[in-house]
């Protein structure tokens, strides 16, 4: 997306990184009388870490008490729950259960319950083996007990990111995709960000660059942390597997790590994963044979019947792990610069709360804020959740516009009308991958084998019309 002709010569604030956290910060700051730009190195929003996580809306029950992360996740859970209800982001309140498979894990349950209570979450209960199997009958043999977390939920991470970015743009944020920051220059009046698409001038910079946050931090003269890309591989099973599990089945964290979960997804599938592998390559989002072998071994013990079901897809995401025990959100008033780094997968839940916190840090560092006189209503997002009514099921919608009755992707029941709407939306997809995240198209068991050509044709036609 190119710079609009009416963009200012100098922005008040530039937020770097259009993932969930960066989009939330841009949205928050656009609620004030500021000129805000949201820079993204890639061609679309939400195309980095934010697109590939376990998509769980966390209560924060297991965060380390007293940390910034704990505070942000707890606050973010309430904020995102409310925002989802106002924007149509699909959420299913499935609840979760941590399952103990050995004595070490069983002995850890009381401490986890105490940790949850220290974090302000009072609803966990320790249950015995019989209660575990009553809740999840298809679990493999050997479960000794469990801890219930009734308010854990599943959510559509793609829609969260797109809603926040769309809201920011509607509030006046300028979205600049394809603007990878290559070097910076600072002077008494502000900062010039030299990007792949040309220079961008700003008075304040917010670094929410995820996997690249440490590199960008280095351009401002710091060496306070290092990002290690941590690959998480997952296996997604067909919708026919969904009756096997109706809640999130979590591992009990031990000295050996957090382990592998089994969870329903908002799209009607079942997910197994993730792995956890530290890498050096920040682009290594490919899956691996060793990763799948590990997941299948774990899945065989967790839920043997799941492995009898068809696999719909496999994917891997990179998380921005850092050598720091908490979120790293620090302002440098002298350079008018704010770092928002080390935001792990909990950033999905915590994003809106992080945006509030970032705003307050900027104010403390000297940014003056005046609330905007009027703000548009939050956007109403298309529903991608399988548990809720979608266009192909709505007779009145189809009668008013037959395009909603013409199914293009039969695996996921995505209609021509939905593809058209996505291509003409506030932030249209830059490529077919972006169209998939906006509609679920090509996301089913055939993985675009049957619908790919027609989807591409509709995308190219509608994109051309949108650009006229």
How far from the centroid of its chain's Cα atoms is residue 206's Cα?
Answer: 19
Contact 69, 327 (CB under 8 A): yes
Contact 439, 382 (CB under 8 A): yes
Return the closest-CA partner of residue 343 out of 22, 14, 65.
22
CA atoms within 13 A on the CB side of 228: 10
As a residue count, the chain comes to 468
**How far is residue 265's CA from residue 247's CA, in Å, rounded to a whole number?**
10
Complete DSSP assignment for 331-364: EEGGGTEEEEE---TTHHHHHHHHHHHHHHHHHH
Contact 17, 209 (CB under 8 A): yes
Q: What are phi and psi of 181, to 5 degrees?
A: -75, 125
* Alpha-helical regions (H) of 42-118: 68-87, 103-118
**How far is residue 203's CA from residue 185's CA, in Å, rounded to a whole number?**
12
Strand order in the sheet with 91-92: 56-57, 153-155, 91-92
**How far is residue 74's CA from residue 120's CA, in Å, rounded to a whole number?**
8
Residue holding tokens 């995505």?
A: 414
**How far is residue 154's CA from residue 269's CA, in Å, rounded to a whole number?**
12
**How far is residue 166's CA from residue 139's CA, in Å, rounded to a whole number?**
41
Active site residue 58: yes
Structure tokens that stand for 125 in this block? 């209960």
How far from the centroid of its chain's Cα atoms is residue 386's Cα?
Answer: 18
Structure tokens that stand for 244 in this block? 């096997």
Q: Which of 58, 93, 123, 424 is catalytic?
A: 58
Contact 135, 152 (CB under 8 A): no
CA atoms within 13 A on the CB side of 126: 16
Contact 81, 180 (CB under 8 A): no
Contact 316, 286 (CB under 8 A): yes
Q: What are phi and psi of 296, to 5 degrees?
A: -65, -35
Return the closest-CA partner of residue 266 out of 133, 131, 412.
412
Catalytic residue ranges: 58
């Amino acid at each position: 997306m190119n710079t609009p002709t009416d963009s200012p010569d100098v922005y008040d604030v530039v937020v770097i990184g259009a993932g969930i956290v960066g989009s939330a910060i841009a949205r928050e700051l656009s609620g004030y009388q500021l000129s805000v730009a949201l820079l993204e190195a890639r061609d679309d929003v939400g195309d980095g870490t934010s697109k590939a996580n376990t998509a769980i809306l966390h209560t924060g029950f297991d965060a380390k008490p007293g940390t910034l992360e704990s505070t942000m996740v707890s606050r973010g859970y309430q904020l995102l729950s409310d925002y989802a209800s106002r924007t149509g982001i699909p959420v299913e309140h499935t609840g979760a259960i941590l399952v103990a498979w050995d004595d070490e894990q069983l002995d850890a349950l009381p401490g986890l319950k105490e940790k949850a209570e220290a974090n302000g979450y009072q609803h966990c209960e320790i249950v015995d083996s019989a209660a575990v199997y009553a809740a999840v009958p298809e679990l493999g043999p050997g479960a000794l007990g469990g801890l219930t977390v009734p308010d854990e939920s599943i959510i559509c991470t793609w829609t969260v990111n797109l809603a926040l970015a769309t809201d920011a743009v509607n509030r006046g944020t300028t979205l600049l995709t394809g603007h990878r920051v290559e070097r910076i220059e600072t002077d008494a009046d502000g900062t010039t960000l030299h990007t792949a698409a040309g220079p961008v001038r700003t008075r304040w910079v917010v670094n929410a660059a995820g996997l690249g946050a440490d590199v960008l931090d280095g351009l401002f003269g710091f060496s306070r942390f290092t990002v290690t890309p941590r690959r998480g591989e997952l296996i997604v099973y067909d919708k026919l597997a969904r009756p096997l599990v109706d809640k999130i089945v979590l591992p009990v964290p031990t000295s050996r790590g957090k382990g592998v979960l089994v969870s329903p997804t908002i799209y009607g599938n079942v997910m197994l994963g993730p792995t956890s592998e530290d890498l050096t390559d920040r682009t290594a989002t490919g899956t691996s044979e060793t990763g799948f072998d590990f997941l299948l071994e774990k899945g065989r013990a967790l839920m043997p019947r799941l492995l009898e079901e068809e696999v719909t897809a496999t994917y891997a995401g990179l998380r921005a792990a850092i050598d720091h025990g908490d979120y790293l959100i620090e302002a440098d008033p002298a350079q008018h610069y704010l770092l928002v780094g080390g935001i792990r997968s909990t950033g999905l839940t915590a994003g809106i709360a992080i945006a509030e916190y970032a705003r307050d840090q900027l104010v403390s560092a000297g940014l003056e804020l005046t609330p905007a006189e009027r703000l548009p209503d939050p956007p109403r997002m298309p529903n991608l959740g399988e548990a809720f009514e979608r266009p192909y099921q709505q007779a009145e919608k189809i009668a008013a516009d037959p395009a909603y009755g013409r199914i293009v992707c039969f695996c996921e029941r995505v209609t021509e009308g939905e593809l058209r709407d996505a291509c003409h939306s506030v932030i249209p997809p830059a490529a077919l991958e972006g169209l998939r995240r906006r509609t679920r198209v090509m996301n089913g068991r055939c993985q675009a084998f049957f619908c790919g050509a027609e989807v591409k044709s509709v995308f190219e036609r509608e994109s051309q019309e949108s650009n006229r």
